[in-house]
Amino acid sequence: MALFRSAPIAPLEYTRKLWMRGWVGLTMLFLYAPLLVLMVFSFNDSKRNVVWKGFTLKYYEKALNNDSLVEALVNSLTIAFLATIISLVIGALAAVMLWRFRFPFKGLVEGTMSLPIIVPEICLGVAFLIFFAKVEWPTDLMWPLNLSAITIAHITFCFPFVAMVVRARLASFNKEEEEAAKDLGATEWQAFRDVLLPHIQPGLVAGALLAFTLSLDDFVITFFTSGPDTITFPVKVYSMVRFSVTPEVNAASTLLILLTVILTFIALKVQGVKGITETH
């Protein structure tokens, strides 16, 4: 008896209340059930999605043999990789600029920089479509230069996010630490490298993760920026979904979900659960 008897619920232990647990459980079910069903049925030996007919990897084989799908995936990862690195540099510079200096029109610059975050994706997509048409950006370049327009667009909406995250981290920096380093004989550059950089490192990791997922996730802006020969994974999946729901898409999607989960766990290893959840 005593084994199963738990203490009465204290007033603030809301999480121990049954309806609360049910609520959270149902919400999690709502969030995860579609993804889990999709992943499970990517192994289903049936064209139709609902009935389990046996385990198979043939749709993975099909997906990986689908040249245009693989090309789209490679394109997406390349763009995400490039956009992350460049956004990280530009975003960190922007964060340091706003954190450290006082300069004319600072409010204007700051406000403009937050616009790519606020402006609806569709408007940004339209703007890039018109812009690249107007400047007659070449569309027939060889790989990977043919991805340049999309990459530029991605950097433009990623780097303000990086700047935001890094700046939040900078705000908690104690300038006395930097002064202490200088007091102990460090040069400006050494103080930056040994004191400031380690402090903002979690912000940089979080910013990189955010930029990578944003870039990989983006459909709308890419949809407007991509030329006829430059297809990314979301654009490819979109066109496949428009035609019909095929198990191939399930398989490819499962691979991308796994990539997200792996990235998340790498980030967890680097920063710990708390680090990740606190920087957001």
Q: Which of residues 161-180 bind another protein (CB under 8 A)?
A: 163, 171, 173-176
Q: Collapsing DSSP states into helix, strand and coil, what is residue 229?
A: coil
Q: Examine residue 93 and tell whether it contacts another protein (CB under 8 A).
A: yes
Whole-angstrom Cα distance, residue 9 to residue 16?
Answer: 7
Whole-angstrom Cα distance, residue 148 to residue 146?
Answer: 6
Considering only the stretches 60-68, 137-145, 154-162, 196-204, report the one whose residues sit in contact with another protein under the rule CB under 8 A.
154-162
- Letters for 41-80 (x = contact with another protein by CB under 8 A, - = none) are x------xxx------------------------------
Q: Examine residue 137 and tell whether it contacts another protein (CB under 8 A).
A: no
Residue 59 dihedral angles phi and psi, to the nearest 5°? -75, -25
Q: Which is nearer to another protein, 57 or 117 (CB)?
A: 117
Short-list 171, 47, 151, 16, CA closest to 99: 171
| Contact pick of 80, 147, 155, 196 for another protein (by CB under 8 A) | 155
| Contact pick of 81, 85, 199, 238 for another protein (by CB under 8 A) | 238
Q: Examine residue 37 and tell whether it contacts another protein (CB under 8 A).
A: yes
Short-list 226, 50, 144, CA closest to 238: 226
With 0-12 / 13-18 / 19 or more C-beta atoms within 10 angstroms meaning exposed / middle / buried, residue 227 is: middle
Smallest gap from Cβ 191 to another protein, in A, equals: 13
Smallest gap from Cβ 67 to another protein, in A, equals: 20
Q: Examine residue 29 and tell whether it contacts another protein (CB under 8 A).
A: no
Smallest gap from Cβ 78 to another protein, in A, equals: 16
State the residue for tokens 């960190």. Answer: 92
Please give the radius of gyration of the chain, using alpha carbons only, rounded to the nearest integer: 24
Smallest gap from Cβ 54 to another protein, in A, equals: 18
Whole-angstrom Cα distance, residue 191 to residue 2?
Answer: 60
Q: Examine residue 97 and tell whether it contacts another protein (CB under 8 A).
A: yes
Residue 228 dihedral angles phi and psi, to the nearest 5°? -65, -30
Smallest gap from Cβ 45 to another protein, in A, equals: 17
